[in-house]
């Protein structure tokens, strides 16, 4: 009975306690009004807690009105609410970009940001999605310190991405892209920015060495969006607008052209080329207006569905991108789909599969320069009296005496389009038999087919100069099947509470297979669309085909350890075996080590924690490689070509390349030191890093010496030379919130210094880009090499004094107004030996400035990017200012060019003959300051939350590349590398010409979630 009383008393107490509690409920959402499942809702100072369900809802009993509830979730700022009289508390959590608990992908693993010991920068997908670009790497511009992105205009163009400068001279400089753990090569044109959850840039070797032989240019890890637990959610993102194509030059009209050309002829002693220029007044052919569209549409759209339970999540997105060309035909169109399913069978088993079908089509003429270069007097079409009615539709166009092919006709003839179909399947299976031990296997297969069709119709615009007597049809088909399989075992354990260790070992296998087929035929009976098939060709049919394969097998491992969150160590080791190398060097090892000291967690920092939110020193070392040379360099090859035998030219074979059995990887050894810091609750944060890396055993394609007996064209890959690059990366961030107003500033600063340490022989000179660049030991690679243009001869006295000591003219054909070339070596003559360094394509530093502001439901983003201290060769100077050619010139050139003392010191006099070689000698006349500051993006948005039956509706207006400051007078200061097929990727950097400009773009955006 006594126990009954006791039981009753306890029950009564419980009831009383229960009666004293307050039931609180509510919903937790993010800023975009999306419910967040799994948020930890805890009564501060107690162990009582609850978690939000799929819809972000929670219910919690709190003891009294004074209790405080804390809402915490990874990646979001913790929020604290006092109960007061409320029974329903709805919370909006804000994402944190500096949370140290944030998960960072590091290659074959993901770790907490606080545990990262090497140089890794993260960019969230949301930041990338503020811009509408075909290639998502363009959005990276200015956002990551140490990453230099040079934009390329044109639909489907791929920007040049350099991570901490260059580490190779002859191979590709693009980083390795790894999408969801699968290496995908050096281009991610196939990815929509709406598919990306986050990007991690592995900048130093201690971070990237786990990718071994392909990591010397850095690695960019991309994590795509997956399904999230919670109710099914639909999103629709659309941005659509116009790309603006302004004529970069104000070209002369017909009368102006005649005046300019007459002056050029007269200055050379000839009579007028086009007498009485006024007769052409009002008769200008406006080629640009006729053939180039000022505005071309661009659209980026994504439809997404995601959701799931704790057993299964799914994310499906359908993405569409379309950028039309400026010619009114062609462009680039991409449709991709990503279907991601993740399954949790039990606490021990997980699996997932992602399907990624893609379709791309592209093709557009490339002759926009001709619309400026063709003379403005020639009409577009032949006059009626020059037509006899038998011409086909491509032969009715007029021929220009300027020798520029009629660009309107060329666009009309254009028929060269490529379709690409790909399917990528990526799946994994993960097993965790005991806590901390994860066994994972992942496999991916990529199947692709690329079909290019081309047709060149027959036409005769001018029988001597502009014609195609027989039409031809061509077809290329390239198929690839690539697969990857990787297996890892990871064991993580904490010992004695303070020793945290993790060990991962694994292996990977990759194989890349491809084949191509080309068909050619001539004499298709007519030019109609239906006849544009190889089967319709009647003459000169030809075909070629080839196949290739390469594979890579690797063993990987990583060991991480930290003591009490203060002292960190990470070591990685990768052993790569590549089919590209022969037995002697088939396998190579790529180790790395990095340490970090999180000073903040030291006892002596306790008193400073109000001010210092993060303080950490890092140091890393590693070796990475570059195997980006052709697949079968171990083979000797026979080439076909014409050769003189016994005085007769014969079509024959010759040894074109010889195998080098000792060929091996280019190896880059890298050291870096970093300081990460955060102050005032990370309102101010950033990192400062210094790095130095050295490339050894550089791969060169060398010719044989003549005494070897091989023809001059024969080549062999060999490992010679070394180079070094060093620099500083700085990231500074500031963010704050005052009431409804929030703002943030990110500043990135990048410097790169590159120099050649050794070449294959002392004193060796490596020329590039048609002998216009030089690479020598002790200097930066690919610097501009030419004559020094020392202004113009302003008067006869200056001209007369430009002699050697005996009065012999250094430039015998020069006249007043011509370029004065400097006798650099002072030997009394102007010759090859006077060529010297006249500029550098490499920037002294790059700066990015990213601003974001928020006020209530408004948001504003502005991104700026600049490149300072680099030079650009403006190759268009010859086209625009040289009177020797009959192409059109810039308007008013007769006044801009030198026409009397003091009238110009940079644009030579107009001359038909150019006997002084003002324009044919490559000189500093062509070299301009290539520095620029560009406003990459300006976007204003407004968000409606819970309106119109939608969770979220955001509308935005943005402008991309609206403003650029530069002294460069060419088309666009964003000028990348040269032709990689000619080995000029590095040695031909910085040559601007009629490169397709990065276009200003105006866009409207719509983001819907429900």
Partner 1 sequence: MKKNVFLFFLALFGILLTGCQNNESGFPSSDNPTVVVSTKEIYGAPSRKFEIKAALADDLGLKSVQIQIPELSLDKTISFATNPLLESYDLSYFFEVPANRGTSEAFKIKLIVTDVSGNVVNEEINLRLDGEFAAPSISMITPKEGAVILLSTSNDMPVNFVVNDDSGIDYIQIKCEELGIDETVQLDGAPHSYTFNKTYKLPVTAANYVLTITAKDKFTIPNTGSININIVATNEYPAIYLCDQPKGTNLTTDAVGVPMYFHEKTGQDFEFKYYADKDNKEIYFLGQESDFAPHCFGLNASNELIDDVASTPIILPTKGYYKIKVNPNTLKYTAEKYTPSSKVWADVANGLWHDDAAQRKPFVSVCGGGIQGATWDTWDAWTQKGLHLANNASNPYQLVGEYTLTGTMEATFTGQWWDPSWRLIKNGIATMSPGENGNAKYSAAPGVYKVVLDTELERVFITKK
Residue among 267 and 626 whose Cβ is closer to partner 1? 267
Q: Is 542 in the site for partner 1 (CB under 8 A)?
A: yes
Computed from CA positions of residues 637, 510, 146, 999, in that sequence, does the dihedral angle turn out positive or negative? positive
Residue among 459 and 512 whose Cβ is closer to partner 1? 459
Torsion angles phi and psi, residue 980, rounded to 5: -65, -25
The binder of partner 1 chosen from 78, 800, 920, 946 (CB under 8 A) = 800
The binder of partner 1 chosen from 642, 680, 855, 965 (CB under 8 A) = 642
For residue 321, the minimal CB distance to partner 1 (Å) is 39
Q: By the 8 A CB rule, do 839 and 833 touch?
A: no
Q: Which residues pair with 616 in a beta bridge?
A: 598, 676
Residue among 496 and 649 whose Cβ is closer to partner 1? 649
Q: Is 920 in the site for partner 1 (CB under 8 A)?
A: no
Residue among 268 and 875 whose Cβ is closer to partner 1? 268
In whole angstroms, give the CA distance from residue 588 to residue 244: 50
For residue 709, the minimal CB distance to partner 1 (Å) is 24
Q: By the 8 A CB rule, do 938 and 959 touch?
A: yes
For residue 920, the minimal CB distance to partner 1 (Å) is 13
Element (H, E) at 638: strand 637-645
Piece in contact with partner 1 (CB under 8 A), picked from 120-128, 224-232, 464-472, 752-760 = 464-472
For residue 197, the minimal CB distance to partner 1 (Å) is 52
Q: Is 649 in the site for partner 1 (CB under 8 A)?
A: yes
For residue 766, the minimal CB distance to partner 1 (Å) is 25
In which residue are the tokens 């979001």 written?
76
Residue among 603 and 807 whose Cβ is closer to partner 1? 807
For residue 380, the minimal CB distance to partner 1 (Å) is 22
DSSP state of 373: H
Angle at 224 between CA 218 and CA 230, to 5 degrees: 150
Piece in contact with partner 1 (CB under 8 A), picked from 45-53, 627-635, 797-805, 845-853 = 797-805
Piece in contact with partner 1 (CB under 8 A), picked from 152-160, 592-600, 803-811, 930-938 = 803-811
Piece in contact with partner 1 (CB under 8 A), picked from 220-228, 496-504, 655-663, 806-814 = 806-814
For residue 649, the minimal CB distance to partner 1 (Å) is 5
Piece in contact with partner 1 (CB under 8 A), picked from 49-57, 279-287, 466-474, 557-565 = 466-474
DSSP state of 76: B
For residue 650, the minimal CB distance to partner 1 (Å) is 10
The binder of partner 1 chosen from 465, 856, 947, 967 (CB under 8 A) = 465
In whole angstroms, give the CA distance from residue 234 to residue 148: 36
What's the chain's Rg over C-alpha atoms? 33
In whole angstroms, give the CA distance from residue 624 to residue 212: 5
In whole angstroms, give the CA distance from residue 939 to residue 1002: 10
For residue 895, the minimal CB distance to partner 1 (Å) is 25
Residue among 470 and 582 whose Cβ is closer to partner 1? 470
The binder of partner 1 chosen from 385, 529, 805, 832 (CB under 8 A) = 805
Give Cα separations from 627 to 212, 542, 591, 631, 719 (angstroms). 10, 34, 17, 9, 12
The binder of partner 1 chosen from 309, 801, 825, 857 (CB under 8 A) = 801
- Coil, helix or strand at residue 790: strand
- Coil, helix or strand at residue 826: coil
Angle at 818 between CA 812 and CA 822, to 5 degrees: 70
DSSP state of 255: H
The binder of partner 1 chosen from 15, 540, 543, 547 (CB under 8 A) = 540
Q: By the 8 A CB rule, do 254 and 899 touch?
A: no
In which residue are the tokens 């005991």 written?
434
Looking at residues 392 to 411 of the shown chain, list those that interact with partner 1 (rule: CB under 8 A).
403
The binder of partner 1 chosen from 78, 276, 653, 808 (CB under 8 A) = 808
Centroid of chain to Cα 467:
39
Q: Tell me the longest C-alpha to C-alpha distance in the chain.
A: 133
For residue 134, the minimal CB distance to partner 1 (Å) is 35
Query: Where are any strands of DSSP class E within 432-582?
Result: 437-456, 459-462, 466-468, 472-495, 499-522, 539-563, 567-578
Q: Is 385 in the site for partner 1 (CB under 8 A)?
A: no
Piece in contact with partner 1 (CB under 8 A), picked from 284-292, 701-709, 789-797, 917-925 = 789-797
From the number of C-beta atoms within 10 Å of its C-beta (0-12, 13-18, 19+), residue 637 rates as middle
In whole angstroms, give the CA distance from residue 995 to residue 974: 9
Element (H, E) at 340: strand 331-344
For residue 470, the minimal CB distance to partner 1 (Å) is 8
For residue 521, the minimal CB distance to partner 1 (Å) is 11
Residue among 88 and 469 whose Cβ is closer to partner 1? 469
Q: Is 708 in the site for partner 1 (CB under 8 A)?
A: no
Q: By the 8 A CB rule, do 582 and 603 touch?
A: no
Q: By the 8 A CB rule, do 695 and 167 touch?
A: yes
For residue 655, the minimal CB distance to partner 1 (Å) is 22
For residue 406, the minimal CB distance to partner 1 (Å) is 15
Residue among 803 and 875 whose Cβ is closer to partner 1? 803
Piece in contact with partner 1 (CB under 8 A), picked from 157-165, 665-673, 796-804, 969-977 = 796-804
Tokens of 721: 């030379």
Residue among 364 and 404 whose Cβ is closer to partner 1? 404
For residue 394, the minimal CB distance to partner 1 (Å) is 15
Write the DSSP string, 544-603: EEEEEEEEEEEEEEEEEEEETTTEEEEEEEEEEEETTS-GGGSEEEEEEEEEEEEGGGSG
The number of residues that bind partner 1 (CB under 8 A) is 22
In whole angstroms, give the CA distance from residue 104 to residue 200: 7
Residue among 213 and 911 whose Cβ is closer to partner 1? 911
Piece in contact with partner 1 (CB under 8 A), picked from 333-341, 696-704, 723-731, 804-812 = 804-812
Piece in contact with partner 1 (CB under 8 A), picked from 366-374, 492-500, 742-750, 798-806 = 798-806
The binder of partner 1 chosen from 82, 187, 795, 895 (CB under 8 A) = 795
Residue among 384 and 464 whose Cβ is closer to partner 1? 464
Q: By the 8 A CB rule, do 939 and 130 touch?
A: yes
Q: Is 464 in the site for partner 1 (CB under 8 A)?
A: yes
Piece in contact with partner 1 (CB under 8 A), picked from 21-29, 326-334, 746-754, 791-799 = 791-799
Q: Is 796 in the site for partner 1 (CB under 8 A)?
A: yes
For residue 450, the minimal CB distance to partner 1 (Å) is 25
Looking at residues 4 to 43 of the shown chain, list those that interact with partner 1 (rule: CB under 8 A).
none
The binder of partner 1 chosen from 797, 825, 920, 946 (CB under 8 A) = 797
DSSP state of 923: B
- Coil, helix or strand at residue 384: helix
Write the DSSP string, 202-244: E-SHHHHGGGGGG-TT-EEEEEE----SEEEEEEEEEEEEEEE
Dihedral (Cα; 595, 598, 601, 602), 10-degree rounding: 70
For residue 375, the minimal CB distance to partner 1 (Å) is 16
For residue 376, the minimal CB distance to partner 1 (Å) is 22
Which positions touch partner 1 (CB under 8 A)? 403, 463-465, 467, 469-470, 540, 542, 642, 649, 795-797, 799-801, 803, 805-808
């Amino acid at each position: 009975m006594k126990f009954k009383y006791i039981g009753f008393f306890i029950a009564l107490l419980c009831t009383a306690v229960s009666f004293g509690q307050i039931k609180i409920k509510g919903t937790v959402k993010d800023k975009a009004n999306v419910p967040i499942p799994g948020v930890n809702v805890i009564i501060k100072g107690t162990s009582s807690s609850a978690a939000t369900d799929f819809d972000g809802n929670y219910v919690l009993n709190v003891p009294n009105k004074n209790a405080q509830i804390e809402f915490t979730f990874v990646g979001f700022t913790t929020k604290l609410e006092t109960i007061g009289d409320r029974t329903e508390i709805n919370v909006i959590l804000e994402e944190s970009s500096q949370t140290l608990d944030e998960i960072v992908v590091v290659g074959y693993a993901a770790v907490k940001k606080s545990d990262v010991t090497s140089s890794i920068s993260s960019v969230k997908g949301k930041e990338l999605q503020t811009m509408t670009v075909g290639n998502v790497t363009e959005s990276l511009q200015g956002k990551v310190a140490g990453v230099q992105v040079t934009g390329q205009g044109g639909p489907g163009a791929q920007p040049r991405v350099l991570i901490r400068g260059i580490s190779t001279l002859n191979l590709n400089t693009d980083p390795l892209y790894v999408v969801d753990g699968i290496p995908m090569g050096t281009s991610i044109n196939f990815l929509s920015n709406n598919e990306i959850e986050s990007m991690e840039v592995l900048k130093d070797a201690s971070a990237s060495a786990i990718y071994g032989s392909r990591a010397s240019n850095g690695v960019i890890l991309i994590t795509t969006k997956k399904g999230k637990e919670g109710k099914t959610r639909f999103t629709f993102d659309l941005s659509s607008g116009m790309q603006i194509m302004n004529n970069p030059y104000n070209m002369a009209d017909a009368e102006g052209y005649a005046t300019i050309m007459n002056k050029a002829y007269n200055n050379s002693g000839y009579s007028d080329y086009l007498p009485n220029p006024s007769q052409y007044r009002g008769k200008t052919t406006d080629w640009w207006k006729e053939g180039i569209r000022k505005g071309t549409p661009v659209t980026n759209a994504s439809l997404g569905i995601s959701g799931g339970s704790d057993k299964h999540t799914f994310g499906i997105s359908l993405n569409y991108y379309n950028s039309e060309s400026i010619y009114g035909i062609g462009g680039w169109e991409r449709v991709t789909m990503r279907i991601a399913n993740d399954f949790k069978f039990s606490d021990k088993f997980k699996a997932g599969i992602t399907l990624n079908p893609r379709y791309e089509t592209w093709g557009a003429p490339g002759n926009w320069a001709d619309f400026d270069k063709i003379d403005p007097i020639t009409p577009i079409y032949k006059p009626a009296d020059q037509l006899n009615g038998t011409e086909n539709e491509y032969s009715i166009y007029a021929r220009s005496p300027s020798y520029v092919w009629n660009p309107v006709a060329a666009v009309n003839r254009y028929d060269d389009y490529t379709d690409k179909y790909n399917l990528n399947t990526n799946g994994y299976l993960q097993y965790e038999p005991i806590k901390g031990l994860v066994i994972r296997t992942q496999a991916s297969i990529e199947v692709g087919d690329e079909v290019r069709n081309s047709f060149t119709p027959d036409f005769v615009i001018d029988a001597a100069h502009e014609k195609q007597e027989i039409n031809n049809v061509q077809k290329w088909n390239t198929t690839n099947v690539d697969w990857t399989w990787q297996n890892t075992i990871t064991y993580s354990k904490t010992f004695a509470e303070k020793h945290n260790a993790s060990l991962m070992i694994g292996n990977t296998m990759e194989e890349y297979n491809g084949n191509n087929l080309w068909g050619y035929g001539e004499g298709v009976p007519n030019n109609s669309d239906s006849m544009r098939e190889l089967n319709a060709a009647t003459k000169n049919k030809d075909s070629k085909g080839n196949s290739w394969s390469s594979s890579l097998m690797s063993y990987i491992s990583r060991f991480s350890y930290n003591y009490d969150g203060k002292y960190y160590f990470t070591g990685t080791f990768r052993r790569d075996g590549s089919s590209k190398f022969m037995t002697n060097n088939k396998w190579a090892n790529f180790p790395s080590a990095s340490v970090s000291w999180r000073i903040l967690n030291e006892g002596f920092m306790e008193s400073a924690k109000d001010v210092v939110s993060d303080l950490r020193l890092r140091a890393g070392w590693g070796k990475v490689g570059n195997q980006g040379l052709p697949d079968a360099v171990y083979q000797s090859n026979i080439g076909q070509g014409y050769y003189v035998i016994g005085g007769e030219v014969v079509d024959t074979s010759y040894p074109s390349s010889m195998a080098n059995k000792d060929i091996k990887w280019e190896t880059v050894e890298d050291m870096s030191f970093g300081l990460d810091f955060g102050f005032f609750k990370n309102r101010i944060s950033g990192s400062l890093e210094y790095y130095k890396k050295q490339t050894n055993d550089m791969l060169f394609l060398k010719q044989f010496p003549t005494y070897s007996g091989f023809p001059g064209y024969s080549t062999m890959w060999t490992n010679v030379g070394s180079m070094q690059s060093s620099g500083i990366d700085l990231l500074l961030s500031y963010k704050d919130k005052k009431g409804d107003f929030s703002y943030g500033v990110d500043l990135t600063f990048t410097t790169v210094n590159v120099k050649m340490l050794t070449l294959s022989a002392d004193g060796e000179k490596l020329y590039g880009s048609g002998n216009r660049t030089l690479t020598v030991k002790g200097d930066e690679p690919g610097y501009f090499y030419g004559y020094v243009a020392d202004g113009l001869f302003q008067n006869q006295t200056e001209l007369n004094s430009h002699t050697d000591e005996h009065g012999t003219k250094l430039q015998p054909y020069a006249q007043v107004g011509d370029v004065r070339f400097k006798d650099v070596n002072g030997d009394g003559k102007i010759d090859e030996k006077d060529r010297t360094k006249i500029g550098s394509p490499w920037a002294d530093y790059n700066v990015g400035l990213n601003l974001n502001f928020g006020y209530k439901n408004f948001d504003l983003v502005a991104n700026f990017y600049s490149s300072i201290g680099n030079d650009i060769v403006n190759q268009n100077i010859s086209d625009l200012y040289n009177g020797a050619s009959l192409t059109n010139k810039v308007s008013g050139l007769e006044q801009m060019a030198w026409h009397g003392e003091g009238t110009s010191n940079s644009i030579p006099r107009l001359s038909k003959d150019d006997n002084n070689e003002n324009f044919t000698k490559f000189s500093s006349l062509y070299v301009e300051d290539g520095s620029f500051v560009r406003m990459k993006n300006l976007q204003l948005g407004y968000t409606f939350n819970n309106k119109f039956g939608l969770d979220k509706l955001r509308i935005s207006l943005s402008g991309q590349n609206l403003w650029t400051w530069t002294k460069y007078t060419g088309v666009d200061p964003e000028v990348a590398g040269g032709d990689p097929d000619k080995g000029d990727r590095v040695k031909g950097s910085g040559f601007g010409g009629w490169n397709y400009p990065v276009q200003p773009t105006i866009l409207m955006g719509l983001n819907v979630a429900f």
